[in-house]
Copies of this chain bind each other. A is one copy, B any other.
Amino acid sequence: MAFDLENWKTQIRKGYLELCILTLISREGQIYGFEILSQMEKFEMPLKEGTLYPLLNRMTEDGVLAAKWETQGPKGHPRKFYSLTAAGKKLLWGMSEEFERMVSVTQNLSKNERRKKNDEIHTA
């Protein structure tokens, strides 16, 4: 409701988590959900199951990820492994490019001092 830092941190994660997770899958080649959770925690960007699984299902439905079940022999819960499709790799590339652009915009905004029109401020 109120505009506080915690709420903002939730908002800024939208889209960003997908970039992180696609990057992680790309790096690992293939990986299953629970392992993503622990890796993301290791990288100090933890997320909840209720965030991850809908995200993975969405991206699988949309042809960004390929999923296959693997049983762990006689023991262990079966795991659903995800990997990038060709479309997924292309998407990740586009996302990385845009994110870098965003980073450079914030850097420019912070850095560039306003030089032109010192006089204009007095308007009137």
Contact = CB atoms under 8 A, between A and B. Distances in A.
A102 B43 contact: no
Contacts of A59: 3
Give how many copies assemble into the complex: 2
B58 A9 contact: no
Nearest to A73: B124
Interface residues on A, range: 35 or more
Most buried by B among A9, A64, A101, A123: A123
Contact of A15 (B12, B70, B112): B12
Given A28-B114, A43-B109, A123-B72, A11 B12 contact: no
Nearest to A61: B3
Contacts of A19: 12, 106
